[in-house]
Structure 1
Amino acid sequence: MASRVRDRIDTGPRFTQGDAIRLNNLFRGNDTQEMLAAVIADRLVGDAAIVSSFGAESAVLLHLVTRIAPDMPVLFLDTGKHFPETLAYRDQLVERLGLNLVNLTPDAEELAARDENGLRWSYDPDGCCELRKVKPLARAVAGLDATFTGRKGFQSSSRTGLPRFEIDTSDAEGRLKVNPLANWAKPELDAYFADHALPRHPLEADGYPSIGCAPCTSKVRPGEDPRAGRWRGWEKVECGIHIPAKPGEEPAF
């Protein structure tokens, strides 16, 4: 499959829905570490990078992948709106894990033209995310075949049934998304943190189980989905770099 990835780059999609289905079936029943070791060693997903928010549970994905591929780029969307605690946590994990960090920033001219006062998040959160997240990431992944994400199925109703392998629906290039933690539950994540003595995000204990940009992240109340505090009050569940499948389009794995 790896050679087919390179052959397809100039002639069509890198991956198809059929490829995602085959990968999900191939690693059905394998634990996460076994799956990652095989995928990375055999280059089954081609050239890849990790996309990390350095949020509440990001250390697990970063530790899992970089133990196998220490030099894999870690793409961080430095939006200019993060909590100071997130930036400090990023720096802590970079030093602790020896990460190959790549900070992605918005285009300065476009930001000045479309969000001069920095308040677009307050009246057009989709537009703010497009400027500060979607476009910078699209530029960064243009030459990649796949990205590793830290999404998990339990985080919200829009992520229920999340597969390990899926096609990135945000572009037409057939880029693959690998979600190693798709079927992990909160107790498994907590155990991994404890087993490997990984530091926790400082805001997690203060009621933030999902942490994005500061203006659009609030504390989560008991009984709510972990991502309920993201864009509270808006009909918005994702920033745009991850687009949920539409009803009837969910992969049959």
Structure 2
Amino acid sequence: MGNYSGSSWPDFKSYTIEERVKWIFDHYAEEEILMTSSFGSSSALLLHLIHKISPDHPIYFLDTGYHFKETLDYKNKLEQQLNLNVKIIAAPKNKHRFTRHNFTYQHNQDLCCFINKVEPLAALKAQHKVWLSGLFKYQNENRKQLAFFDRKQDILKVYPLLDMTPEEVHTYFFIHQLPSHELVAKGYSSIGCTHCTVKGSGREGRWAGSAKVECGIHL
């Protein structure tokens, strides 16, 4: 185990999803690897893989202050079922309070996301070299263009589940008996903050009626 200094990345297309995650933990030190989770509709899959490969690895949950109760319940359920080491980060209370009193999410969604998601995560990213993320190509046009390895200016992002299909995700949940987010059965596919999420397939329920497709942390 140690910092990978190779000039090229492996061909993840020939790896299983478990082999992909294991490769990261074999080639980088634990403290260099950042794992975050929104505890959304598909989050349990990558969390299950982390649980198998590195059970005590920290899982950072970004508490925006606007999560559905069902999301918080789902976090607690997965935390107990998979014995996850969950750590919570959030915006400073005064900044979050500003977005709540100012109703920032109604007239400037980018600013609300920056204050409650992008900025709190920035400090955490600075402490790590690799960021494991459970994005899928099928989720939207922006993600369809991603590669398994995405070198950002400040961190290397790795998407080990990127080429999975919705059917493969569903099968993984079924085989490993992973619980479903309660809102999925109510018509929600992608689940974010309460004021920016409505029912819909794919990510069409996120920021519905606007041109916004990402919160900013994955750009």
- TM-score normalised by L of structure 2: 0.93
**Deviation per residue, 1:150-179 (Å, 9 max, x gap):** 1100011111132211123xxx32x11111
Name the residue aligned to 2:120: 136
Cα separation, partners in 2 of 1:3 and 1:84, compared to 1, 3 Å: closer
- How many residues were matched structurally? 219
For 2:211, give the aligned amino acid.
E
User: Does residue 52 in structure 1 map to residue 37 in structure 2?
Assistant: yes
How much has 1:32 moved relative to structure 2?
1.2
User: Does residue 156 in structure 1 map to residue 136 in structure 2?
Assistant: no
In 1, Cα distance between the equivalents of 2:122 and 2:56? 21
Q: Rg larger in 1 or in 2?
A: 1
Contact residue 65 and residue 96 of structure 2 kept, 8 A = no
How much has 1:119 moved relative to structure 2?
1.3
Cα separation, partners in 2 of 1:100 and 1:46, compared to 1, 3 Å: closer
Contact residue 147 and residue 159 of structure 2 kept, 8 A = yes
User: Does residue 165 in structure 1 map to residue 141 in structure 2?
Assistant: no
Name the residue aligned to 1:201: 181
In 2, Cα distance between the equivalents of 1:3 and 1:39? 10
Cα separation, partners in 2 of 1:216 and 1:78, compared to 1, 3 Å: same
User: Does residue 79 in structure 1 map to residue 64 in structure 2?
Assistant: yes
Cα separation, partners in 2 of 1:155 and 1:3, compared to 1, 3 Å: closer
Q: Unpaired segments of 5 or more residues in structure 1?
A: 6-17, 244-253
Pairwise CA RMSD: 2.0
In 2, Cα distance between the equivalents of 1:35 and 1:83? 31
Q: Sequence identity, in percent? A: 37
**Taking CA–CA contacts closer than 8 Å with sequence separation of 6 or more, which of the two structures ends up with the larger relative contact order?**
1
**Aligned positions of 1:58-69 closer than 5 A:** 58-69=43-54
Q: Unpaired segments of 5 or more residues in structure 2?
A: none
In 2, Cα distance between the equivalents of 1:183 and 1:197? 22
Contact residue 30 and residue 57 of structure 2 kept, 8 A = no
Name the residue aligned to 2:213: 237
For 1:210, give the aligned amino acid.
S
Which one is further off, 25-34 or 116-125? 25-34
- TM-score normalised by L of structure 1: 0.81
Secondary structure of the corresponding residue to residue 117 of structure 1 = helix
Secondary structure of the corresponding residue to residue 147 of structure 2 = coil
In 2, Cα distance between the equivalents of 1:29 and 1:45? 24
